[in-house]
Amino acid sequence: MEKIVSLCRRRGFIFPSSEIYGGLSSCWDYGPLGVELKQNIKQAWWRAVVQERDDIVGLDASILMHPQTWTASGHLQGFVDPLVECKNCHLRWRSEDLTGNNCPSCGGELTEPRLFNLMFKTFMGPIEEAASVVYLRPETAQGIFVNFQNVVNTTRMRLPFGIAQIGKAFRNEITTGNFIFRTREFEQMEIEFFVKPGTDEEWFNYWVEERINWYVKLGIKKENLRLHKHTKEELAHYARVCYDIDYLFPMGWAELEGIANRGDFDLVQHASFSGKSLDYFDEETKEHIIPYIIEPSAGVDRSALAFLCDAYDEQLAEGEIRVILHLHPALAPIKVAVLPLSRREKLVAVAKQIYADLRQCWMVNYDDAQSIGRRYRRQDEIGTPFCVTVDFQSLEDEQVTIRDRETMNQIRLPIAELKSTLQAKLEGEPLFVLPPGGAIWKE
Ligand code: ATP
Model pLDDT for residues 388-418, shown as the tens digit of each residue: 999 999 999 999 999 999 888 899 999 999 9
112-135 residues labelled b (16+ CB within 10 A) or e (exposed): ebeeebbbeeeeeeeeeeeeeebb
**Quick check: 319 pLDDT over 90?**
no
pLDDT of 83: 80
pLDDT of 436: 45
What spacing in Å lies between the alpha carbon of 369 and ligand 1's midpoint?
42
**Quick check: 302 pLDDT over 80?**
yes
Nearest atom within ligand 1 for CA of residue 184: 27
Whether residue 183 has its Cβ less than 6 Å from ligand 1: yes
Whether residue 186 has its Cβ less than 6 Å from ligand 1: yes
**Quick check: 53 pLDDT over 90?**
yes
pLDDT of 80: 54
Q: Which residues contact 64 (CB under 8 A, 6 or more apart)?
A: 124, 134, 135, 136, 137
Whether residue 301 has its Cβ less than 6 Å from ligand 1: yes
Higher-confidence residue of 136 and 90: namely 136
**Quick check: 440 pLDDT over 80?**
no
* Nearest protein CA to atom 8 of ligand 1, as residue: 255
Quick: pLDDT tens for 269-285.
Answer: 999 999 999 999 999 89
Q: Which residues contact 303 (CB under 8 A, 6 or more apart)?
A: 41, 189, 215, 256, 257
Nearest atom within ligand 1 for CA of residue 180: 29
What spacing in Å lies between the alpha carbon of 399 and ligand 1's midpoint?
49
Q: Tell me the percentage of the chain whose pLDDT exceeds 70.
A: 95
Q: Tell me the mean pLDDT in the region 353-376.
A: 95
Whether residue 262 has its Cβ less than 6 Å from ligand 1: no
The C-alpha angle with vertex 72 and arms to 130 and 125, in degrees rounded to 5, equals: 30
Whether residue 257 has its Cβ less than 6 Å from ligand 1: yes
Nearest atom within ligand 1 for CA of residue 176: 27
pLDDT band, very low/low/confident/very high, at 117 (cuts 50, 70, 90): confident
Whether residue 28 has its Cβ less than 6 Å from ligand 1: no
What spacing in Å lies between the alpha carbon of 259 and ligand 1's midpoint?
11
pLDDT of 79: 53
pLDDT band, very low/low/confident/very high, at 429 (cuts 50, 70, 90): low
Counting every residue written for the chain, the total comes to 443
Q: What's the mean pLDDT when you consider all of the chain? A: 91
Q: Tell me the mean pLDDT in the region 65-80.
A: 86
Higher-confidence residue of 154 and 235: namely 154
Q: Which of 299-303, 312-316, 318-322, 354-358 is the least confident region? A: 318-322
Quick: pLDDT tens for 157-187.
Answer: 999 999 999 999 999 887 777 999 999 999 9
What spacing in Å lies between the alpha carbon of 106 and ligand 1's midpoint?
18
pLDDT of 81: 60
pLDDT band, very low/low/confident/very high, at 18 (cuts 50, 70, 90): very high
Taking the C-alpha atoms of residue 416 and residue 411, their distance in angstroms, rounded to an integer, is: 14
Nearest atom within ligand 1 for CA of residue 300: 20
pLDDT of 318: 78
Q: Which residues contact 321 (CB under 8 A, 6 or more apart)?
A: 314, 315
What spacing in Å lies between the alpha carbon of 308 and ligand 1's midpoint?
18
Whether residue 246 has its Cβ less than 6 Å from ligand 1: no
Taking the C-alpha atoms of residue 142 and residue 56, their distance in angstroms, rounded to an integer, is: 17
What spacing in Å lies between the alpha carbon of 182 and ligand 1's midpoint?
7
Q: Tell me the mean pLDDT in the region 12-31.
A: 94
pLDDT of 22: 93
